[in-house]
């Protein structure tokens, strides 16, 4: 059996996480195959990055409703359907229909996201800035399976780092992105082959690596 898990990456912007995943695949650190890069913005740098790296890039602009838009995404991927969706700076909430298309029999979605905070702290936008402005001494990065709410779903991996010495939100982001670019491919290496179990706790669910 071919053990390269087909994934589509959804991204709206700069694309540094897209690049780090594509590089991890290229160097053999991550057993996966990118079927598509899907962006909702034609001008997003990630679209250019994908073309440069030989990845099939498609732009699906938002129209009408979340359900309609997500249906268009599914159609755009139908020439080579992925097993997992990997969100990398994708700025839209997914519709219940799309979550359902990627849900497993075990009750989790085959959709992964990276969020720039230690969830459940600072969900939503500008999380590095929020942590800096709050006066946090430490912040971090979370990789999680996507749930129905904003930045929720079983947590797969988290990594923290000190921001005591950071003088600006931009410095926090710089530090955070370095962490993201290592943590995301590393976590995907056990999430994509589904080497995990979901543990239910009182406040939520956690995704725990089996090996
Ligand atoms: C990252 O900080 C990621 O954690 C968040 O959006 C940002 C995307 O950056 N979800 P990039 O487009 O991958 O460079």
**DSSP β-bridge partners for residue 118:** none
Predicted local distance difference test score (pLDDT) of residue 3: 83
Report phi then psi at 79, rounded to 5. -70, -20
Given 36, 69, 115, 144, which residue is catalytic?
Answer: 115
Ligand 1 centre to CA of 17 (Å) is 6
Would residue 115 show up in a list of annotated catalytic residues for this protein?
yes
pLDDT of residue 1: 47
Give the ligand 1 atom nearest the CA of 45.
12
- Between CA 211 and CA 196 the distance in angstroms is 8
The conformation of residue 103, written as its DSSP 8-state character, comes to B
- 90-113 burial, b for 16+ CB within 10 Å, e for fewer? beeebbeebbebbeeeeebbbbbb
Measured from the CB, is residue 140 less than 6 Å from ligand 1?
no
| CB neighbours of residue 58 within 10 Å | 17
Per-position b or e across 170-207, b if 16+ CB within 10 A of its CB: eebbebbbebbbebbbbbbbbbbebebeeeeeeeebbb
As given in the structure block, the two tokens for residue 71 are 């249906």
Ligand 1 nearest atom to the CA of residue 116, by list position? 4
Q: Whose CA is nearest to atom 9 of ligand 1?
A: 89
Which atom belonging to ligand 1 lies closest to the Cα atom of 176?
Answer: 2
State the average pLDDT over residues 129-145.
98
CB 84 within 8 A of CB 56: no
Strand-pairing partners, residue 86, are 9, 112
Order of strands across the sheet that contains 155-162? 57-59, 32-39, 5-10, 84-87, 111-115, 138-145, 155-162, 205-209, 196-200
Average pLDDT over residues 63-79: 97
State if residue 179 touches ligand 1 by the CB under 6 angstroms criterion: no
Verify whether ligand 1 is closer than 6 Å to residue 88 (CB atom): yes
Residue nearest to atom 5 of ligand 1 (CA): 89
Segment 108-134 shows an average pLDDT of 98
53: which residues sit within 8 A by CB, 6+ positions away?
19, 22, 26
Instruction: Provide the β-strand partners of residue 59.
Output: 39
Give helix 16-26 / helix 45-52 axis angle, nearest 10°. 20
- The per-residue pLDDT for 211 is 72
- Is the confidence at residue 190, as pLDDT, over 60? yes
pTM score, whole prediction = 0.97
Q: pLDDT tens digits for 9-43?
A: 999 999 999 999 999 999 999 999 999 999 999 99
Ligand 1 close to Cβ of residue 180 (< 6 A):
yes
d(CA 131, CA 129): 5
Q: How close is the Cα of 96 to the center of ligand 1, in Å?
A: 23
């Amino acid at each position: 059996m071919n053990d390269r898990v087909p994934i589509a990456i959804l991204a709206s912007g700069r694309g540094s996480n897209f690049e780090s995943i594509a590089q991890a695949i290229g160097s053999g650190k991550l057993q996966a195959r990118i079927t598509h890069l899907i962006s909702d913005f034609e001008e997003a740098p990630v679209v250019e990055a994908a073309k440069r790296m030989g990845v099939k890039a498609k732009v699906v602009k938002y129209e009408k409703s979340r359900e309609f838009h997500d249906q268009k995404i599914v159609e755009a991927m139908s020439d080579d359907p992925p097993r997992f969706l990997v969100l990398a700076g994708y700025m839209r909430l997914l519709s219940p229909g799309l979550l359902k298309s990627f849900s497993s029999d075990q009750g989790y979605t085959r959709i992964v996201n990276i969020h720039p905070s230690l969830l459940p702290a600072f969900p939503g936008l500008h999380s590095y800035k929020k942590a800096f402005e709050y006066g946090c001494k430490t912040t971090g990065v979370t990789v999680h399976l996507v749930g129905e709410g904003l930045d929720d779903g079983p947590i797969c991996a988290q990594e923290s780092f000190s921001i005591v010495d950071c003088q600006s939100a931009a410095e926090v982001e710089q530090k955070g992105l370095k962490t993201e670019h290592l943590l995301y491919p590393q976590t995907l290496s056990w999430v994509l082959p589904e080497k995990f179990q979901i543990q239910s706790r009182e406040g939520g669910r956690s995704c725990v690596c089996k090996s």
